[in-house]
Amino acid sequence: MRPDDIFRAAAAAFSVVVATLVLGRPTSAAEMDTEIFTFFQAEQLEYRLTDGKDQLKWDAQGWIGEDYNKLWIKTEGEKVFGGGLEEAEVQLLYSRIIHPFWDLQIGGRYDVRPQPQRGFGVIGVQGLAPYFFEVDAAAFVSHEGDLSARLKGEYEILLTQQLILQPSVELNLAAQQVEKLGIGSGLTDVELGLRLRYEIVREFAPYVGVSWERKVGKTADFAREEGEEVDSLAFVTGIRFWF
């Protein structure tokens, strides 16, 4: 099955379930635990100023569902100003609460960029670790059988009730080498970020910060062979919002 077939099938299934949830019978007071809610958050929508190509980056997610079962959509990517998309992905996930602070998620992922386009199966967990670290960890298997994983972590430091400092880390790993995509096995790249936001209201906050990315191991070797930089430092400014 081709990646676009996987994505179309997942999108069709998502549409059927959403329609069932939205058009279902009204919820009574005795069924409050099955009341349908929605949520959307753009964690990052930012302009990145680098010493090379300036970029627009996004990282957003949303869900529809009740307390125990939800359907999630996640998307992230980068676009070069004056150019095309460098990276873009969409995930469609079913989520089930397994602990008061943790959800188990399973579904699919589709990479629009980089080429060639690829589809993945996804299984992961998302929630709040001890000491209030927000964690999003997932494993992926591509339609060609390649295994990879991603771990994201964030922490919020309240300087005031409206001024918040947020350090973050993202690690990507691969079980196999995929030379056509410039991916080596093992730890492939690391991203560290530090953003300072001001919450005008809880739902809307502009921010500034820095982000440092580094390719490592064989992935860095592939980048050097293509004449690419293996690390980059970017100054960022953007908005974080939710509804």
Distance in angstroms (rounded) separating the CA atoms of residues 4 and 59: 22
Average pLDDT, the chain: 88
Instruction: Decide: 61 and 42 in contact? Cβ < 8 Å.
Output: no
Least confident piece of the model among 23-32, 88-97, 162-171, 219-228 = 23-32
User: Average pLDDT, stretch 77-97?
Assistant: 94
User: Average pLDDT, stretch 116-133?
Assistant: 95
Of the candidates 116, 80, 82, which has an alpha carbon nearest to the alpha carbon of residue 2? Answer: 116
User: Average pLDDT, stretch 7-31?
Assistant: 42
What percent of the chain lies above the pLDDT cut of 90? 79
What is the token pair recorded at 152?
């994201």
Burial readout 81-116 (b: 16 or more C-beta within 10 A, e: otherwise): eeeeeeebbbbbbbbebeeeeebbbebbbbbbeeee
pLDDT band at 68 (very low <50, low <70, confident <90, very high): very high
User: Average pLDDT, stretch 118-131?
Assistant: 96
Give the pLDDT confidence score for residue 8 in this predicted structure: 46
Of the candidates 153, 219, 147, which has an alpha carbon nearest to the alpha carbon of residue 187? Answer: 219
What are the tens digits of pLDDT across the range 137-171? 999 999 999 999 999 999 999 999 999 999 999 99
Q: Is pLDDT at 116 greater than 70 in this prediction? A: yes
Q: Is pLDDT at 19 greater than 60 in this prediction? A: no
What are the tens digits of pLDDT across the range 187-219? 999 999 999 999 999 999 999 999 999 999 999
Give the pLDDT confidence score for residue 52 in this predicted structure: 73
User: Average pLDDT, stretch 166-180?
Assistant: 96
CA 48 to chain centroid, in Å, comes to 17
User: Average pLDDT, stretch 107-131?
Assistant: 94
pLDDT band at 33 (very low <50, low <70, confident <90, very high): low
Give the pLDDT confidence score for residue 66 in this predicted structure: 95
Distance in angstroms (rounded) separating the CA atoms of residues 126 and 123: 10
Of the candidates 107, 51, 111, 118, which has an alpha carbon nearest to the alpha carbon of residue 77? Answer: 111
Give the pLDDT confidence score for residue 7 in this predicted structure: 41
Q: Is pLDDT at 105 greater than 70 in this prediction? A: yes
pTM of the model: 0.84
